[in-house]
Amino acid sequence: MAPIDPRAPFDLSGRVAIVTGASSGLGERFARVLDAAGAQVVVTARRAARIEALAADLRDGLPIAADLADPGAAGAIVDAARERFGRIDVLVNNAGAGTDMPAIDLPVDDFRRVIEVNLVAPFALAQAAAGAMLDQGSGSIVNIASQFGLVGTSAGLSAYSAAKGGLVNLTRHLAAEWSPKGVRVNALAPGYFATEMTRDVFEDERFVAWTTRNTPLRRTGREGELDGALLYLASDASSYTTGSVLVVDGGWTAI
């Protein structure tokens, strides 16, 4: 019997990954994790200077400044990645936006903008990347959803929750369509993690107390606690996993 190496399926050497929203927070961390696992990583976000600095810090990174609200952005990102590396193996749809306002007061245009960034743009990226993945007969798409894509909340996150709920079911649908041809599609649903986007709420002591009280592990997420989940879904370690939602929320959705 051959020796068992449980680490081997997590190796991304020779793979090409795209990470959106990589200029800070979870996206930057995801790019570094995939790079450390051996992948060549394409990092994209609106802030060119930040992703250029990140790409320079990776082994073989490619920065692409883009606004995903631009209808042509998805195709341009995928084309640039294929021109540089010749293939696409992993897409991490991480870019996102949100509002914190009671639903009764939320302007419809603001609701529409959040849906555009959190649901329409990930679909466009997935569609563009799948063109390459289906041609090669393999690929892994990881949509970054949220605990609020699975449950409601009294917080003012109606647009965000609607978009992430849509992303969860879009994940299932794309998996059903594309997995027979070798392209797996899964979602990662984090709970509360301190990032640049959530900085303001984490400075609110009442918010931290409320979150801690409603989380079975009695704390928010820590840096690095999404690394294993992301790497699992991106790599061959999850070769028999598709259409799934991996929740990393300290137990929030369990109660």
Q: What are the residue numbers of the active site? A: 160
The residue among 148, 27, 160, 42 whose CA lies nearest residue 95 is 27
Give 99's contacts (C-beta < 8 A, 6+ positions apart): 106, 110, 111, 114, 156, 157, 159, 160
**Structure-derived torsion over alpha carbons of residues 238, 168, 144, 16, reported in degrees to the nearest 10:** 50
The dihedral through the CA atoms of 101, 105, 108, 109 has a sign that is negative
CA distances to 115, 172, 232, 247 from 254, rounded to whole Å, are 26, 21, 22, 10
